Amino acid sequence: MFIRSFVSSLARLDYHLRLTRSGCSTLLCLLVLLSPCVDAMAKQSDKAAATLMDMRSAYFRDQSGALQDMLPTIAGHPLEPLAAYWTLKSRLEEATAVEVQAFFKRYSGSYYEDRLRNDWMLLLGKRQDWVALQAAHRAFRMNDDRDITCYEWQAQLALGQAAAPSASPLITTKTLVAFWQQQTGRDEACLGAVTQLLRLGLISPEVVWTRARDAAMWADKEAFIDAVALVEPGQRVLATQLYNNPQAFLNTRKAQPKKAAGNWLSVALIRLTMRDYDAVMDVLAFWLPYLNADQQTWVNATVATREAMRLDNSAHTRFATTRNDQLSDTQLEWKVRAALRAADWDSVLQTTRDMPLTVAQQPAWVYWRARALTSVHDGLRNERNTGLATQLLKRIATPDNFYGQLAMQALGQAVTARRPALAPSHSDERAVKKNPSLRRAVLAFKLGLRSEAVREWHYGIALHEPGGMPNGQLLAAAQWACKLAIWDRCINTASRMSKPAGSRLLYPMPFKHAVVRKAKLRQLDPAVVFGIVRQESRFVMEARSGVGASGLMQIMPATATWTAKKIGLSGFSLGQLNEQDTNLTLGTSYLKLLLDDFQASLPMAAAAYNAGPSRSRRWRGTEADSPTLEAAIWMENIPFNETRGYVQRVVANTVNYAARITNKPQTVAKHLLPIGPKDQTAPAQDESLP
């Protein structure tokens, strides 16, 4: 209807332009002619936008009938593929293959074609319709769903397309097991694949018990029960009882401990370790003799990991009794962290050497291995080790992450504001602005369909073509996003470039005047505030977290209310949290209170901003035997994965923003003063800080 209206207006335009030869002003005719048309199109656009928002609401309420009624009014709209996806996805269980194929054809090449194909294949996999699944899989572009890979392998096996021992040269047993181990909760697709691997003798029961131990350790009840049921058919009830109450499970077997199966005992002790550390310490010495050597290692490794996460100095001693080749990736990481706290560089060096390659190549472990090479005290500190350490540091040196900045500092390099390594060509810019996915994403952003827009944008830059967009187009897309003030997509897109994107795109400074003014009012470094905002919200004003934090600085309602009262902000209401000025006022005020409370330590204040002041205080240590650590070691030992990464990114962000704001070289060392128990001469802590 939009196109027909516009074509009709063009016909009228041609007629009226011919009248200009009779003395009518061309401009006047254009204004007179197009004004009704523009008004009509604007009203149609507003109506379509309102309908799309109604359809979104209906989709999340599972109102399939309402969606079908509204869909015709979106016909011809650029976001019709989205509306059609909502409509068909809401009733996909009842849809026919003909309807699905018609959708694929009508919206061929779009994100929503491939999104529905992904959903359709998951449904086909559950139905074990292997022929239809393979037919759909051949056209699957995103190829980023582990469940689909597990279903595809089962399809190949069921249809006899490859010999059972290998099933597919592209989908290995190792891949399937890894996918299964990475999933959380109930996982029908990869669980089904592993069930077949076990039946065919391609994996041993011990692989399944490893999954059960990991699930017991990380509190994944469904995964634990499913794994145990694979190797102990008919024992789901017992597995559930063990998971829910491991102490009771152990108590009922204490009278005849020799009759208890070692695998069951080990998972019970592992589960109890993570649930009640004190309780497991009461019974550990009794039960360990009834386990074989491997089972003892698994239990001791779990206890050591729990101690390391509690920042208990005994973790390092217990880890020393374990063999690296029997530890999980996560346990190896915690073994290194415990060794760092104990300043045992020999253990750091050996454990980082023994890590699987995919883990060992992560910047954190490359950096600590390099540090260990130059810090061991057994005569190995020599020119060869120093040279190898330098090579490792050069491999990870970059201004764009915390360990990269540490490596730069060790190499004598500073962080500076950078220009892009290349400029987008005109053809790159044209290609980006003509890209259907990006155009739909931009319109969705404008209509307030943020989550849908983010997914469509990501598909356009990363998934539509194998390997994603080339560098020139990524740069053009990032620049376009920044120009449109879609800051999170600007940063995300620039971050995907294999060549440096430049500081202006990676570290933009929207609202600069307001941020700098608020920071100076509270005697804060503006770079710190920008570092927090970039990590918290990516400058999305309407951002809201899953736990209720709001606005640029992602402030929790209780924290906002407390801070407003503390600084005397009269008339404050929670409805103001998404207002830029109020959010910055409260966020910078709270950040200043945290920095004052933690003696200007950015890592401790950032940890408190993310996880709460009481946790940050506990992690710094309160006992006399708590060590004073390098800030980088303290940060690496933060028990929460989210908070650890958060603090490291805030510090790295701050260094980059300081380089931009001051236009002077910066190093991360400025923010890394040693961290330990609070100095008794320091001012008393504000225990009321939320």
Distance of alpha carbon 443 from alpha carbon 255, whole angstroms: 69
**Kind and range of the H or E element at 223?**
helix 221-231
Q: Which of 113, 232, 536, 636 is catalytic?
A: 536
Question: Which two three-digit tokens encode residue 260?
Answer: 């208890």
Distance of alpha carbon 161 from alpha carbon 152, whole angstroms: 11
Cβ atoms of 82 and 440 within 8 Å: the answer is yes
Whose CA is closest to 417, among 339, 508, 489, 290? 508
3-state secondary structure 464-505: CCCCCCCHHHHHHHHHHHHHCCCHHHHHHHHHCCCCCCCHHH
* 57 alpha carbon, distance to own chain's centre: 26
Across-strand partners of 550?
544, 555
Helical segments of 397-435, H only: 402-410, 426-434
Alpha-carbon dihedral of residues 58, 64, 69, 74, nearest 10 degrees? Answer: 60
Long-range contacts of 35-44 (CB under 8 A, 24+ apart): 37/5, 37/6, 37/9, 37/12, 40/5, 41/2, 41/5, 41/6, 44/1, 44/2, 44/5
Name the packing angle between helices 436-447 and 450-458 (round to 10°).
160
279 CB-near residues (< 8 Å, 6+ apart)? 247, 272
Distance of alpha carbon 457 from alpha carbon 444, whole angstroms: 10
Three-state DSSP class for 296?
helix
Q: Tell me phi and psi for residue 550, to 5 degrees.
A: -135, 155
- 536 has catalytic annotation: yes
Distance of alpha carbon 445 from alpha carbon 449, whole angstroms: 6
Q: Quick count: other Cβ atoms within 10 Å of Cβ 218? A: 13
User: With b meaning 16 or more CB within 10 Å and e meaning fewer, what string describes 301-318?
Assistant: bbbbbbbbbebbbebbeb
Q: Tell me phi and psi for residue 629, to 5 degrees.
A: -115, 155
DSSP-assigned letter for residue 684: P
Question: Which two three-digit tokens encode residue 319?
Answer: 């880890």
Three-state DSSP class for 629?
strand
As to burial, measured by CB atoms within 10 angstroms (0-12 exposed, 13-18 middle, 19+ buried), residue 20 is: middle
Q: Which amino acid is at 157?
A: L
**Where in the sequence numbering do the catalytic residues fall?**
536
